[in-house]
Structure 1
Amino acid sequence: MTGQLVVISGLPGVGKTTAAELLASRLGLVHLSVDPVEDALLSCGLPPGEPVGIAAYEAVRAMAELNLRQRLGVVVDAVNDSAPARETWQRAAQATGAELVFVSLNIADLDAHERRLVNRDRGFSHVSEPSWEAVNRRRATYEDWPDTVLTIDAAASSPDGIADAIIRHLSNDSSARPSRNAT
């Protein structure tokens, strides 16, 4: 058995990276994020588009597997808006024998979500910050999660509260329980 693979998912601006950083810090997990890898790939002159996004997911998957095989726990943050994206992490867990736990962050209050995107700058050179319109287009095609996934309204809790909810979920053998909404 290898480490645990926790995948924090959700639309841009819901707080995935912040939650993943806190979780990694508190639990001693390796934090891997898809967006910086995509930015690095684009900095090499690759054209923006779906192939680069897929390559970023696959690069992070490979790094997750490397760490999981060393019995290190991993937390990944990525949008994961489709079954193929989510299957990336299922493959990693199957290849390493890791326990896979998906967490879905959302913001039910759309005005609060939009406010989070205003003036957001993560410092990437080649991955631009999405507009509110782009986030809403993505929301329209975002595939629903099954009931077994922990879902947290990120606007209803502080980043520390989100990390606390995930830690509680992990400590309660989350793979054996149906989902619940947490705040």
Structure 2
Amino acid sequence: MIKVLLIGLWVCIVSIGGVYLSARMSEATATADAAPAPVVTTVVRGNPISMPVIHNGAVDGYFLGRISLSVDSEKSKKVQLPMDALLTDQLFSLLMGNPMIDLKNVGSFDPENFRNKIKDGINAKLGDAVVANVMIEQLDYMSKETINTNTARRGNNPIPAQKIVEGVVVEAPAPAASH
């Protein structure tokens, strides 16, 4: 009789332990499944831009730049307009419509704020968080006087443009291999 009672107690303990263990394992699996999948991004290389700086109705110089975007690969497939066109439009808005750069005090320029405004502006136009990161490859200023001096020198010892941001090198995406 005691044997049967001990065997019954042993079966209960093993059953309860098995149920507890399987419940804990399923919670761990559910937590792992709930973790967001990593976002796959693609680099969209921007076109080189040259935008006039207009002051008192006259051209004072030009912004020279190239800015690239890191975009969510899946979300960017749904975008109807070319990303480089959206980028150029946003740059014209920031540099011409609402100037963010004080050319007399270039050191006060905040590149992180500039990147965020580009990213937020494009994402707002698209209605989704398509742009993940903005990379400034080049952002320089060349005054009209510097251009005229360099033209007069005919390529001998040109005066370089004024660096606004020290850019990063962005590699062009590799072409897709065809099978």
TM over 0.5: no
Kindly indicate which of the two structures has a greater share of residues assigned to strand.
2
TM-score for both structures, normalised by structure 1 = 0.29
* Greater relative contact order, per chain length (Cα 8 Å cut-off, separation 6+): 1
Q: TM-score, normalised by structure 2?
A: 0.30
When Rg is computed on C-alpha atoms for both structures, the one with the higher figure is 2
